[in-house]
């Protein structure tokens, strides 16, 4: 009996032990399996420089001026995270966003300025780039972008409005071309052009205003009927019936006290109207859907549309275990400046705004309001996705440890000149490489941040944020980016309050994009300076400029249809040679670069000006050298008159050492991108792959591409010859 019992026990053990070992292996595997990496919410603010940010110590705080924009949501997030007080982006939106989303400086992709309809594919983020959406796919992330794209397409790009999908985003809902249209001063066709400068019917305190009207809403989809409701009186937030109607997506017929069975034929739902009516684009995988402003989805306040789309997409992620990256790419506060719905403005700034959107002081109030409205909608996004909660007093309750989401909020470039807050420099703002043009807010919060509510004073570049997102996803970023990146890792700043600086040098640049056969945007006079930055006549005028290019108004300019800014000075000289010195226009720079270390900054600018003696253009190159810092509320910045190179007595020995070091650093960065004719996919070789790619593009498209090596807007036999003549490894 004892022996039989022992045998049975032995047999049972022999059967159980393998099962136990298997179970232990499973338990062990479960125990050591890494949790999913955190979700990433990337928020990009448009034309919001650090000068606007009270939470960073600026915004006019303590300077006896109007208060900075109210941003309680961003302030709450910043208190629970890190405020990077020394971050540079690029001087304009497209190069800044491209650097953020590819981790590479503009010199890598020739995207130097705001992308316009005439810019070739050679100045767009190309399909061979490892965008952040493509990079994070290696960690299983789903990616969605909502709002402004503006780094590729739709013009001169084979992908057209499908560029977001081509560049890796699983879902896109917004505007590929980026820039809001001009304000519709007819308010939807109810008045003559020029009547309503803000794009809606104001109340009766303004000329042509109304306190009642019939609000006609567009159909939800083509073929359906519209609806109508009478609106009487201002809203509790102070919105006129016209603004209330526009915010709903409608057009108000002023003084109408009843709705007609069919909308008046004068109403024009298809007219774009800045931040309230525009043709948006939807990418769902390879499906591309263009939604015109004549239907409900193309109408409403942009910040609200952007957040609504993000909320829908983030909520849908809860049914899958995949981590996600949602990029909320706000259009605010880009020009044209247009009052947002008053309900998004709890500070009361709406009461400062008048119905004259051409008034400079009013535009400053409107810009503040647009930033506040953006902040309100961001707060709503956080609450409706469960990332934050509303407190009893209405404030945002955000506990980063309670979520598995990292939040990154950053500006795409410095503030637009007329919106700049003291003591920053409105004359050296967006579209320059000076501090006001490139110094942006950056805050990072979430469960990976140790010791929150602190400032990080080390230099950060917008390209570093790309690297950080890869680190958050636990990826080997350098190994997965064969083209190379310019960003450096930032994760140690999150983990260690005593982390050493990861950068000794910071860099920013801007200039002109590549257009067919050497073209450029037409000349636009902004104040007393001529600029090629505005991409069209309407954009020039939306920014308060006078257009001298093709289609210029002959009653406003001395000479129409000019191609170059220097030709403006030529026309001024021809009109009155004796007074040319007093009347000549300033020339905005067409190339602007800056590099800095902890204490000093070097700026190099180039432009073309007019040479009266030889009646031709002349290249003007300058260098400027400044001492700068991040002191709050009054930092030392690169204002005119502070150039150390122009100082009496010259540079001190210490200044000379820093100047020499920064000159070498800039030269090294600029020399790091070596021309390689024939390498259209950027893999460092000119080979059969390039021949195959060029042949395929030429056959199905034939227009602008990265294989258009002679920049004529075509991909053809001439470009194929360039490949055949340069087979082999690229130089360097």
**Residue 692 CB partners (closer than 8 Å, separation 6+):** none
Tokens 């800014």 appear where? 565
Q: Give the pLDDT confidence of 636-673 residue by residue, as tens digits.
A: 999 999 999 999 999 999 999 999 999 999 999 999 99
pLDDT above 50 (res 459): yes
**Residue 30 CB partners (closer than 8 Å, separation 6+):** none
What phi, psi does 575 have (nearest 5°)? -75, -35
Helix axes 72-79, 360-384, angle to 10 degrees: 50
Q: For position 34, what pLDDT does the model report?
A: 66
Spatial CA neighbour of 270 closest among 337, 305, 219, 225: 219
Q: Give the pLDDT confidence of 528-565 residue by residue, as tens digits.
A: 999 999 999 999 999 889 999 999 999 999 999 999 99
Distance, in Å, from the CA atom of 215 to the CA atom of 105, rounded to the nearest integer, reads: 48
pLDDT above 80 (res 411): yes
Q: For position 292, what pLDDT does the model report?
A: 84
Q: For position 64, what pLDDT does the model report?
A: 65
Distance, in Å, from the CA atom of 133 to the CA atom of 165, rounded to the nearest integer, reads: 10
Are 680 and 133 contacting, i.e. CB atoms less than 8 angstroms apart?
no
Are 469 and 95 contacting, i.e. CB atoms less than 8 angstroms apart?
no
End-to-end CA distance of the chain: 85
pLDDT above 60 (res 183): yes
Distance, in Å, from the CA atom of 279 to the CA atom of 697, rounded to the nearest integer, reads: 28
pLDDT above 90 (res 11): no
Which pLDDT band, with edges at 50, 70 and 90, does 1 fall under? Answer: very low
Which pLDDT band, with edges at 50, 70 and 90, does 419 fall under? Answer: very high
Q: What are the structure tokens assigned to 54, written together?
A: 């009270």
Helix (H) or strand (E) holding 686: strand 685-686
Highest mean pLDDT among 19-23, 400-404, 521-525: 521-525
Q: For position 8, what pLDDT does the model report?
A: 43
Are 72 and 122 contacting, i.e. CB atoms less than 8 angstroms apart?
no
Helix axes 360-384, 302-316, angle to 10 degrees: 10
Tokens 């526009």 appear where? 246
pLDDT above 50 (res 26): no
| Of 22-31, 435-444, 656-665, the least confident | 22-31
Q: For position 17, what pLDDT does the model report?
A: 42
SS3 46: coil
Instruction: Share the mean pLDDT of the chain.
Output: 93
Q: For position 194, what pLDDT does the model report?
A: 95
Q: Give the pLDDT confidence of 230-254 residue by residue, as tens digits.
A: 999 999 999 999 999 999 999 999 9
**Residue 278 CB partners (closer than 8 Å, separation 6+):** 175, 180, 181, 272, 293, 298, 302
Q: For position 221, what pLDDT does the model report?
A: 72
Distance, in Å, from the CA atom of 186 to the CA atom of 189, rounded to the nearest integer, reads: 5
| Model pTM score | 0.93
Tokens 């067409």 appear where? 590
Q: For position 388, what pLDDT does the model report?
A: 97
Q: Give the pLDDT confidence of 361-375 residue by residue, as tens digits.
A: 999 999 999 999 999
Distances (CA, A) of 237 to 136, 368, 720: 42, 16, 62
Q: Give the pLDDT confidence of 369-399 residue by residue, as tens digits.
A: 999 999 999 999 999 999 999 999 999 999 9
Across the range 630-638, mean pLDDT stands at 96
Q: For position 240, what pLDDT does the model report?
A: 97
CATH no., domain 39-181+274-510:
3.40.720.10
Distance, in Å, from the CA atom of 167 to the CA atom of 40, rounded to the nearest integer, reads: 18
Q: Give the pLDDT confidence of 189-203 residue by residue, as tens digits.
A: 999 999 999 999 999
pLDDT above 50 (res 4): no
Please tell me whether the peptide bond between 185 and the residue prior to it is cis, using omega within 30 degrees of 0. no
Are 592 and 509 contacting, i.e. CB atoms less than 8 angstroms apart?
yes
Distance, in Å, from the CA atom of 343 to the CA atom of 25, rounded to the nearest integer, reads: 57
């Amino acid at each position: 009996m004892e022996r039989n019992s022992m045998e049975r026990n032995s047999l049972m053990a022999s059967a159980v032990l393998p099962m136990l070992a298997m179970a232990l292996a499973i338990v062990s595997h479960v125990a050591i399996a890494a949790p999913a990496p955190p979700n990433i919410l990337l928020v990009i603010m448009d034309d919001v420089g650090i000068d606007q940010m009270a939470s960073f110590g600026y915004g006019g705080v303590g300077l006896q001026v109007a208060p900075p924009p109210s941003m309680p949501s961003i302030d709450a997030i910043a208190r629970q995270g890190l405020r990077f007080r020394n971050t540079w982006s690029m001087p304009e939106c497209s190069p800044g966003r491209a650097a953020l989303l590819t981790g590479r400086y503009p010199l890598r992709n020739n995207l130097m300025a705001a992308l316009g309809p005439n810019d070739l594919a050679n100045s767009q983020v190309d399909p061979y780039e490892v965008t952040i959406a493509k990079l994070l796919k290696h960690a299983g992330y789903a990616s969605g972008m909502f709002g402004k794209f503006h780094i590729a397409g739709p013009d001169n790009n084979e992908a057209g409005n499908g560029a977001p999908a081509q560049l890796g985003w699983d879902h896109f809902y917004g505007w590929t071309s980026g820039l809001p249209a001009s304000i519709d001063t007819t308010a939807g066709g109810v008045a003559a052009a020029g009547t309503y400068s803000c794009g809606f019917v104001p109340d009766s305190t303004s000329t042509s205003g109304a306190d009642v009207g019939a609000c006609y809403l567009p159909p939800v989809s083509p073929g359906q009927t519209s609806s109508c409701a009478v609106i009487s009186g201002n809203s509790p937030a102070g919105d006129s019936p016209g603004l209330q109607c526009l915010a709903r997506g409608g057009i108000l017929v002023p003084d109408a006290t009843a709705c007609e069975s069919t909308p008046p034929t004068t109403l024009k739902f298809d007219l774009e109207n800045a931040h309230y009516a525009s043709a948006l684009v939807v990418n769902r995988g390879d499906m591309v859907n263009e939604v015109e402003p004549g239907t409900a989805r193309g109408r409403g306040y942009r910040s609200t549309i952007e957040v609504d789309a993000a909320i829908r997409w983030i909520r849908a992620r809860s049914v899958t275990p995949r981590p996600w990256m949602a990029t909320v790419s706000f259009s605010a506060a880009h020009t044209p400046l247009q009052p947002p719905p008053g309900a998004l403005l709890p500070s009361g700034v709406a009461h400062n705004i008048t119905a004259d959107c051409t008034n400079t002081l009013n535009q400053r109030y409107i810009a503040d309001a647009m930033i506040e409205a953006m902040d309100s909608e961001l707060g709503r996004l956080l609450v409706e996705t469960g990332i934050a909660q509303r407190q009893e007093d209405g404030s945002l309750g955000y506990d980063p440890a309670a979520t598995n989401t990292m939040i990154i909020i950053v500006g795409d470039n410095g503030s637009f000149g007329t919106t700049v807050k003291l003591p920053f420099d409105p004359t050296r703002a967006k579209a320059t490489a000076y501090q006001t043009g490139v110094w942006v807010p950056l805050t990072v919060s979430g469960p990976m941040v140790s010791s929150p509510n602190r400032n990080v004073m080390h230099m950060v570049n917008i390209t570093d944020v790309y690297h950080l997102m890869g680190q958050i996803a636990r990826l080997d970023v350098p190994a997965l980016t064969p083209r190379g990146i310019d960003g450096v890792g930032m994760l140690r700043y999150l983990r260690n309050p005593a982390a050493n600086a990861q950068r000794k040098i910071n860099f920013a640049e801007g200039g002109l994009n590549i257009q067919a056969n050497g073209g450029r945007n037409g000349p636009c006079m902004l104040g007393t300076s001529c600029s090629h930055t505005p991409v069209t006549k309407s954009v020039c005028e939306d920014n308060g400029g006078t257009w001298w290019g093709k289609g210029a108004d002959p009653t406003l300019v001395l000479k129409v249809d000019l191609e170059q800014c220097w030709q403006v000075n030529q026309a001024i000289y021809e009109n009155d040679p004796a007074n040319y010195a007093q009347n000549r226009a300033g020339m905005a720079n067409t190339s602007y670069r800056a590099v800095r270390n902890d204490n000093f900054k070097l700026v190099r600018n180039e432009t073309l000006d007019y040479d009266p003696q030889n009646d031709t253009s002349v290249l003007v190159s300058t260098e400027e050298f400044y001492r700068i810092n991040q002191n709050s509320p009054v930092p030392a910045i690169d204002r005119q008159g502070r150039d150390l190179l122009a100082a009496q007595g010259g540079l001190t020995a210490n200044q000379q050492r820093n100047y020499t070091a920064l000159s070498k650093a800039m030269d090294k960065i600029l020399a790091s991108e070596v021309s390689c004719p024939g390498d259209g996919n950027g893999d460092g070789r000119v080979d059969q792959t390039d021949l195959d790619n060029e042949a395929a593009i030429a056959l199905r498209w034939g227009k602008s591409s990265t294989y258009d090596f002679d920049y004529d807007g075509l991909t053809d036999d001439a470009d194929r010859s360039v490949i055949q003549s340069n087979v082999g490894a690229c130089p360097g």
